[in-house]
Structure 1
Amino acid sequence: MRKSAALLFLVLPLAFGQPAAAQAPVQYNVAFPNAVHHEARISVTFAGVPAGPLQVRMARSSPGRYALHEFAKNVYEVSATDSKGKTLVVQKPDPYGWDVSGHDGTVVFTYTLFGDRTDGTYAGIDSYHAHLNMPATLAFARGLEQRPAEVKFDMSQGWTAATQLRPDAAKGTYFAPNLQYLMDSPTSLGPQKVRSWQERGKTIELQVLHKGTDAELDAYAEQTKKVVREAAAIFGGLPDYDFGRYTFIANYLPQTSGDGMEHRNSTSLTSNRPLSGPGALDNLGTVSHEFFHSWNVERIRPQDLEPFNFEQANMSSGLWFAEGFTQYYGELLLRRSGAYTDAEYLQEAVGPLVNAMLNSPGAARYSPVYMSQQAPFVDAAAAIDPNNRANTYLSYYYIGGANALALDLLLRQNHKTDLDTYMRAVWEQHGKAQRDFAPARPYTLLDLQRILGEVSKDTAFAGNFFRRHIYGHELPKFDELLAPAGLQVRRARAGLASLGGRTTFNPADSSATLGTTLLGSALYQAGLDREDVLLKVDGQRLPTSQALQKLLAAHKPGDTVPLEVRTRTGVRTMPVTLQEDLTLEVVLLPNATRKQLAFRKAWLASKVK
């Protein structure tokens, strides 16, 4: 692994030479005297501090996110005192923190935090609730990362805490064994509705803020139970959750932003969709994906993310597996649990994976490893300059999920095994053993290849698959892979003509502005690019997308039509050759054989016994 100064702070031995548990815990008090205006008032007591300035910092990154987020921007009204209440000198050495000097071994560091985005990355505070992602909320001190932490929440009447932190009823606090665990512990405060049950000797709980009915929550909990059981069936049991429970921390409120974020013994679920109607299945899909993460990425963890560095962006070459294989299984668990029919599973999961993989210019050019390494630039990263990712990138969720689908089918067809068996083997070797709230043996890509050879009993196959599809960018032959399941890959709009570009229609003058044109498309081949404006197609104005579709429907692929365009060099008319719409779908064959149906059942049917 790379060794940076910030990383060394996270792995150096304690300055005092004492066991972490014997040192004074870092104590946090989080209060909400001005919640209506989205503020929290937070104080942190650092005791037993060695001589010299104490370096207090806000995180710049967050577990499960890979870009920088600069949480210090929402911190103000900073002050510090010593054990006697004496005001200390606070200097700001950089945009991300504060150096506190002149202390007597104790520093009480106090600040106001603004937060009005309820999702898995930031803090959302209002008079109804507080949803706190800890890197966005709690300051920490360099050199004290291995100390335990105690957090006290001064909550409004009727609020309770949903968190993976261990409660200490006697103190009225919540405990974390070290900074890594603390920062990995999102907490939701508010009038929780709780549904809790025992699953394979472990406590699973839903702690939910929502505006719906108890009956809706009961039905949602039953669907969640089915997903949990299907996930446990893949691995032969549940992980040993550190404090005996796993918590779905769910905010389904109008003011929330859609997100799901995995954590070691919990997940943060945020959505403005209710628990009934069309949005309920989308919410359940996030539940399924995030729960699978309690194995894959939380305990089965890539070596290049250990330990997580809160002061810089974290890059991994394995997100195609950590997120992409989880993407595949999140949808597959919905099918196995009965939330999807076969046809719905193809429409909502398999078809989109196949279409994205085979029609993305980026997937044909760059590997899943490369896509994983791009995460610091795309995972909720903010930038104002244009980019060419439409032609150079496919999300590691999709490229990884598509390769998981391909690998599962290859193993079933040619090696008398399946991806479930592979995931269990990875779990046994690189996930099941944990030490100090972290994986004892985080994996490398070579480990994943080696285990594939063991499971398939074919090391040549494993090496070939990784070389061609993981380190390389060869596209799977999905038509061949899906045929044994009685499934067909076909053009969704066969025979329809297309320009192959994304457009924004301008009602004011009946024109259409182009987005980035895709490599190989009719518009790209004609030399048109983003911000070029279509004034007329085949002599006609374009008031709406429907008007364009109607015009194209009158033509066939291969027809040449004149386009009047305004580019950066002026207005001109050019001929453009129309292409067939490339959108793909995966459908059930109406005459599938018994053998094909049996193959499909073995793949998609419930594994709960």
Structure 2
Amino acid sequence: HLVDSPLFAGRHFQRFDLDPGAKVPVHLNVFADQATSLVAKPEQLQAHRALVQQMYKLYGARHFDRYEFLLALTDKLGGIGLEHQRSSENSGEPGYFTEWDKTWLGRDLLPHEFNHSWNGKYRRGADLTTPNFNVPMGDSLLWLYEGQTQFWGQVLAARSGLWSVQQTRDVLANVAATYDRGRPGLGWRTLQDTTNDPTIAQRRALAFRNYQLSEDYYSGGQMMWLDVEGKLRALTGNRRGLDDFAKAFFGMNDGDWNVHPYTFDDVVTTLNGVAPFDWATFLRERLDGHGPLTGGLEAAGWRLVYTDTPNDAFKAQESRARTNNLLYSIGVSISDAGYISDVLWDSPAFNAGLAPGMTVLGLDGRVFNGQALKDAITAARTGKAPLTLLVKRVDRIDSVVLDYHDGLKYPSLERIGGRPDRLAELWKPR
């Protein structure tokens, strides 16, 4: 309990009661670089209070005597999102409250970490549940620990009102695109194998992550659990879904703090209790297979498409990363100054010889900038001339020709006619 109980401290501090009058209190403890960042509007606090109630409705039990969100609003320290059973360590932008409409993208962090009190802390994979800190941990079940938490983090952001339905849909479109076109490494590596990454990579940055993969049990796991949700709905005539699994698997023994380990067989048994099916094969096909992880979208009445206009979540991600994300068109992520941070494996940019770490100095005979590249990609749709880039690689400067004419491509979700909107049902407050 001592090791699992962190401390935040700071000069500018405000504590908000998220469950007034409750016997099991929940507080949002906010620390900020400036006192002005601590001012929260009533509707903003109401969304956080709704998060607590929606989580209780999901699980039906609590495994803490009190819960303390620790939230640092700062750009002076590194970011954090770290779970504990009775608290979580989180950080956000200084304008988390004061620039509410601009900082929305990160508001699934608190739902994610709060969810871990049930999934990951109270119930934990058997090979991760060690008797002391001298015994190495195993991570084989992180596709449930983190994958389903990633799923619920975004669902609860919608149910509580921390995100709008449109914002949630845009974020899901971006995640789906990652596992439709943005992870060519799934052709050789499995989702299950990425659970070894905390040990073998130790969260170091990897070149060509889209081909090597890295901790894809998070968002790849999220897409797998969306597929499970769709299958449960289909098997039961829409009477049961992943909410029922969550309550059965994590919502027992209200008030109990003791860790309850689980195995793969436990997961399968609980799913069978919700809806009988060959769940072992269903899960293993997705964990050990090499196909796209987007089947849950069509089951929910939506399809992934690509348009020439970025959605709001895509634009927010570009702004946060300070990059132009052109991975789904020419296959490169590049800053306005020309620095290449990522190249999609086997994309036009990759096949032309571009790689992370290079810098583009010029485009078609002019000094490079990000908007000019987007404009040139758009213009090339109706022209035959290739793009010519002047590229600095270490101590060499070379010309690179990109013969690409398919225009800009950004992910979006499109309704499938004649099918019910299961996403709207999933994101509706309970």
> Which TM-score band applies after superposition, normalised by the shorter structure?
0.7 to 0.9
Return the offset for 1:355.
1.4
- Structure 1 residues 224 and 364, CA, compared in 2 at 3 Å: closer, same or farther? farther
Unaligned 5+ residue runs, structure 2? 310-325
Q: Give ranges in structure 1 of 5+ residues lacking alignment.
A: 1-180, 507-511
**Aligned equivalents of 1:572 and 1:268: distance in 2?**
46
1:366·1:473 contact (CA, 8 Å) conserved in 2?
yes
CA displacement at 1:519 relative to structure 2: 1.4
Matched residues, percent identical? 21
Say if 1:560 and 1:317 are closer, same or farther in 2 by CA, change over 3 A. farther
Query: Is residue 356 of structure 1 aligned with residue 178 of structure 2?
Result: yes
* Aligned positions of 1:585-604 closer than 5 A: 585-587=412-414, 596-597=420-421, 599-604=422-427
| TM superposition shift of 1:465 | 1.8
CA distance in 2 between counterparts of 1:399 and 1:558 reads 37
Deviations 1:29-77 (Å, cap 9, x if unpaired)?
xxxxxxxxxxxxxxxxxxxxxxxxxxxxxxxxxxxxxxxxxxxxxxxxx
The equivalences for 1:347-496 within 5 A come to 347=170, 349-359=171-181, 360-376=183-199, 381-382=203-204, 387-394=207-214, 395-416=216-237, 417-427=240-250, 432=253, 437-440=257-260, 442-459=261-278, 462-478=279-295, 481-483=296-298, 485-493=300-308
State the AA in 2 paired with 1:475: P
Q: What is the rounded CA distance, in whole Å, between the counterparts of 1:561 and 1:311 in structure 2?
A: 58
| RMSD after superposition | 3.4
Report the Cα distance in structure 1 between the residues aligned to 2:224 and 2:46, rounded to whole angstroms.
31
Matched, 1:501 2:332: yes
More helix by share: 2
**Which residue type is aligned with residue 451 of structure 1?**
T
Q: Quick one: which amino acid aligns to residue 291 of structure 1?
A: F
Residue 246, structure 1, aligned to residue 77, structure 2: no
User: Cα distance, 1:374 vs. partner?
Assistant: 0.5
Secondary structure, in 3 states, of the residue corresponding to 2:386? strand
Q: Which amino acid aligns with 2:331?
A: G
Task: Quote the Cα distance in structure 1 between the aligned partners of 2:392 and 2:29.
Answer: 55
Q: Distance in 1 between matches of 2:106 and 2:391?
A: 43
- Aligned AA for 2:346? G
CA distance in 2 between counterparts of 1:372 and 1:271 reads 27
Once the two structures are superposed, what CA deviation does each residue of 1:393-433 show, in whole Å capped at 9, x if it has no partner?
153321111212222122223444211112222225xx649
Deviations 1:358-404 (A, max 9, x none): 1222344322222221024556x457xx6332321153321111212
Partner secondary structure for residue 184 of structure 2: coil
Q: How many correspondences in the alignment?
A: 401
Cα distance change of structure 1 residues 273 and 513 upon mapping to structure 2, 3 Å threshold: closer
Residue of structure 2 in register with 1:266 after alignment? 87
Q: 1:300 Cα deviation (Å)?
A: 1.6
Distance 1:584 1:601, change over 3 A: closer
Out of 180, 188, 196, the residue aligned to residue 8 of structure 2 is 188
How far apart are the structure 2 equivalents of 1:382 and 1:354?
Answer: 24
Q: Contact 2:208/2:344 (CA < 8 Å) preserved in 1?
A: no
CA distance in 1, matches of 2:157, 2:218: 17
List per-residue Cα deviations over 1:330-366 (Å, max 9, x = no partner): 111121123333222101x311221121122234432
The equivalent of 1:329 in structure 2 is: 152
The answer as to whether partners of 1:258 and 1:272 remain within 8 angstroms in 2 is no
Ranked by relative contact order (alpha carbons within 8 Å, sequence separation 6 or more), the top structure is 2
| Aligned position for 1:519 | 345
Inter-partner Cα distance in structure 1 for 2:70 and 2:392: 51
- 1:228 and 1:415 map into 2 onto residues whose CA distance is 28
Equivalent of 2:127 in 304, 316, 321 = 304
- Which structure's residues are more often strand, by fraction? 1
Letter of the 1:226 counterpart: A
d(CA) in 2 for partners of 1:443, 1:310: 19
Following superposition, the deviation at residue 194 of structure 1 comes to 2.8
Structure 2 length-normalised TM: 0.80
TM-score of the aligned structures, taking structure 1 as reference length: 0.58
1:503 and 1:408 map into 2 onto residues whose CA distance is 36
Aligned to 1:229: 53
